[in-house]
Amino acid sequence: MKKRKLLGFFKPIDLFSTMSHISHLAETLIPSEIIKLGNEINDRIRQGQSIYNFTIGDFNPAIFPIPQGLEDAIVEAYRTKRTNYPPANGIAPLREAVRSFIHTFQGLDYDANQFLISGGGRPLIYAAYRTICDQGEKIVYPVPSWNNNHYTHFVSGDHCCIETSASNNFLPLAEELIPHFDRACLLALCSPLNPTGTLFTEEQLKAICEAVIAENKKREPHQKPLYILYDQIYWTLVYGDNKHYDPVSLYPELKDYTIYIDGISKSFCATGVRVGWAFGPQIIIDKMKGILSHIGAWSPMAEQFGTAQFMGDPNQVQMALDGIREGIELRLKKVFEGLEALRLKGFPIETISPKAAMYLTVRFNLKGWYHGNKKIEKTADIADFLLSRASLAIVPFAAFGADQESDWFRLSVGTCDLNQLPAMFEQLENALLELSH
C-alpha cells in the first residue's frame, strides 16, 4: 500500500490562456474514462469489427431484462399520467417501499424520511461530497475504486488516495487507512467493490469501523466528525459463502456518521431506469436533498411509482433478485474457469475468484513480452494487443484511479453471451500464442 500524490491525474492548464473563458474545474476535469473507452469500442463495432465487449458495467436487456413486474408497473404509471414533478426527496410510497426493502433484506432500521431518491447513484454521491466536504479538506479513499477521484476533484478536496493490492483483494486494511484519518472529513468505501468484484470480510470492515469510532470520539464535541460514504450498490449480488457487511449493522453507533448509496440499477438490471437512493443521518440527508433540489436530479415520477409498486411485493422482489444473481454468477464462473484454464497452461494470467458484483478481476502480465518485433511495455500496449489480436475489450484499473501502469483489468459480464465464450477463449489463446518472451 502507498499513498499517491495525484500529479498529472488531472490536466495541467495555462491559467492565463483559459481563465477568461471557462472555469478551472471544467478545464481540469477528466470525463469518465470508462464511458470514453466504451464509446470507442462501440465505434469500432459500428465500423464492422467483431469485439467481445466486457467494458461497461451494464446489462444486455436481451439477456438481463428488468423484471416484468417492474416494467409493467412503470408502463402503467405512464398510462395513468404520472408525469409531473416528483417531490425533491422522492415520492412517499417509494421512500416507504425502499425503507421496507432495506429493513427486510438487510436488517437496517431507518425512517422513510431518512431516504433520498434520485436519478441513480451518481447525483447522490455528488450531493454527499458537497454536503460534507469543504474546499481543501482531506478525503480518504482506496484505489482502485469508482470515481472517488473525480468527486474529490469536484469539491476541490485534498486527495488522500490509498493504493491497495491483490493480496487483500484490492480492499483497504484499517492499518493502511488510520494514519490518514487526521483532519479527514470523509472516508469513501465501496463493497462489493467496483471494479474488482470483491468485498470486505467481517474482520476487515470491523477494524475500519472501530478506527472511525475511535477517531470520532477524539473529535467530540467541537470538531467535524469523520463520515463514511458507503456505496453498496452491488450488495444483492454476492455469491457462494461470501456475505455482505455494512458499517451500521456491525456497529449501530455509526448510524450518525454513515451515508449509504444504493439503488435498483444493478439489483434489478435497471441501469437506464434511474432510480437510486441514499440513506443516513437526517441532517446529512436533508442537506443533500437541498442540493439536489437545485440540480433537479430526481428520478422520473412514473419510474418512482413503478418502482414503489414493484418493491412493495417482497416475493416478487426475491424472485427477481435470485434470477439475476444466478445469471450473473454463472457468467462470472464460466469466464473465471476459462481464464484459469489458460493460466494452468502457463499463460501469464492471474485472476481472483468471483465473489460479488458483476466483475472479474484479471491480470495480464504481458510487459516485457514481444508480439513480433514490438515489445509490450505499457498497460496501454496490453489493452491494445488484447483488443487488436483477441478482440477482447476490458477496462484497466487505471480508469479507477489506480497506478497508470497497473496491469490489472476489470472484466464486466452483464452483456456476456454464454454461447460466445468458447470462441472468445479460443481467440484469446491463439493471440497469447503469438507472443514471445
Q: What's the per-residue H, E or C state across 64-91?
A: CCCCHHHHHHHHHHHHCCCCCCCCCCCC
Give helix then strand counts, H and E, for the chain.
15, 17
End-to-end Cα spacing for the chain:
29
Confidence of residue 42 (pLDDT cuts 50, 70, 90): confident
190, 143 Cβ separation under 8 angstroms: no
Q: Taken in order 261, 73, 326, 416, is the CA torsion positive or negative?
A: negative
Q: Cβ–Cβ contacts within 10 Å for residue 15, how many?
A: 10
Q: What's the whole-number mean pLDDT along residues 84-103?
A: 98
pLDDT at 13: 52
pLDDT at 3: 59
pLDDT at 336 over 50: yes
Report which of 110, 156, 160 is spatially closest to residue 284, judged by C-alpha positions: 110
> What is the tens place of the pLDDT at every residue in 164-182?
999 999 999 999 999 999 9
341, 355 Cβ separation under 8 angstroms: no
Grid cell 455482505 in the structure block, residue: 244
pLDDT at 229: 99
CATH 3.40.640.10 domain span(s) along the chain: 68-313
Q: What's the whole-number mean pLDDT along residues 52-71?
A: 96
Q: What's the whole-number mean pLDDT along residues 183-189?
A: 98
Classify domain 68-313 at the CATH topology level: Aspartate Aminotransferase; domain 2 (3.40.640)
pLDDT at 11: 55
The answer, yes or no, to whether the previous bond of 192 is cis (omega within 30 of 0) is: yes
Q: What's the whole-number mean pLDDT along residues 143-151?
A: 96
> What is the tens place of the pLDDT at every residue in 235-257?
999 999 999 999 999 999 999 99
Classify domain 23-63+319-436 at the CATH topology level: Aspartate Aminotransferase, domain 1 (3.90.1150)
195, 361 Cβ separation under 8 angstroms: yes
Alpha-carbon Rg for the chain, nearest whole angstrom, is 22
pLDDT at 61: 98
Q: What's the whole-number mean pLDDT along residues 3-23?
A: 57
pLDDT at 8: 41
pLDDT at 4 over 60: no
pLDDT at 7: 39
Q: What's the whole-number mean pLDDT along residues 388-410?
A: 95
Report which of 115, 117, 119, 141 is spatially closest to residue 129, judged by C-alpha positions: 141
Confidence of residue 277 (pLDDT cuts 50, 70, 90): very high
Give the total residue count for the chain: 437
Question: How far is the C-alpha of 418 from the C-alpha of 290, rounded, in Å?
Answer: 45
Identify the DSSP state of 56: S
Question: How far is the C-alpha of 180 from the C-alpha of 182, rounded, in Å?
Answer: 6
pLDDT at 427: 98
Question: How far is the C-alpha of 219 from the C-alpha of 197, rounded, in Å?
Answer: 34
Confidence of residue 20 (pLDDT cuts 50, 70, 90): low
Q: Is 283 helix (H, G, I), strand (E, B) or coil?
A: helix
Question: How far is the C-alpha of 252 from the C-alpha of 255, rounded, in Å?
Answer: 6
> What nine digits make up the cell of 329?
454468477
pLDDT at 31: 82
| Percent of the chain whose predicted confidence (pLDDT) is above 70 | 95
189, 230 Cβ separation under 8 angstroms: yes
Strand ranges, E, within 254-385: 258-263, 276-279, 349-352, 359-364, 370-371, 374-375
Least confident window among 35-49, 86-100, 270-284: 35-49
CATH 3.90.1150.10 domain span(s) along the chain: 23-63+319-436
Strand order in the sheet with 184-190: 2-4, 158-163, 138-143, 184-190, 227-231, 258-263, 276-279, 115-118
Grid cell 454527499 in the structure block, residue: 128
The answer, yes or no, to whether the previous bond of 221 is cis (omega within 30 of 0) is: yes
